[in-house]
Amino acid sequence: MSIAMSLPRFAAAFAIVLLSSATAEASAPLQKTQAPGYYRMVLGDFEITALSDGTFPMEVGKLLTHITPQQLEAALGRSFLKDPVETSVNGFLINTGAKLILVDTGAGTFFGPTLGKLLSNLKASGYQPEQVDEIYITHMHGDHVGGLLTDGKPAFANATVRASQAEADYWLSKAHMDAAPADRKDGYQSAMAALNPYVAAGKFKPFRGDVELAPGIRAVAAPGHTAGHSLYVIESKGETLVLWGDVMHVAAAQFPDPSVIIRFDTDSAAALLQRKKVFADAAEHGYWLGGAHLQFPGIGHLRSAGTGYLYVPANYSAMH
Binding footprint of Zn ion on the chain (CB under 5 A): 143, 246
Give the torsion sign (CA, 174, 220, 218, 286): positive
DSSP character for 36? P
91/216 with CB nearer Zn ion: 91
As measured in angstroms, the least distance from the Cβ of 128 to Zn ion is 25
236/242 with CB nearer Zn ion: 242
As measured in angstroms, the least distance from the Cβ of 271 to Zn ion is 12
134/143 with CB nearer Zn ion: 143
197/245 with CB nearer Zn ion: 245
Which contiguous run of DSSP H or E holds residue 85? strand 85-95
DSSP character for 263? T
As measured in angstroms, the least distance from the Cβ of 21 to Zn ion is 44
In Å, what is the CA distance from 237 to each residue of 14, 43, 51, 90, 122?
60, 8, 23, 25, 25
Contacts of 28 (CB under 8 A, 6+ apart): none
As measured in angstroms, the least distance from the Cβ of 225 to Zn ion is 8
Q: Are 219 and 207 in contact (CB under 8 A)?
A: yes
In Å, what is the CA distance from 36 to each residue of 29, 77, 122, 212, 221?
19, 28, 10, 32, 33
Q: Are 46 and 94 in contact (CB under 8 A)?
A: yes
As measured in angstroms, the least distance from the Cβ of 33 to Zn ion is 25
143/265 with CB nearer Zn ion: 143
110/311 with CB nearer Zn ion: 110
As measured in angstroms, the least distance from the Cβ of 212 to Zn ion is 25
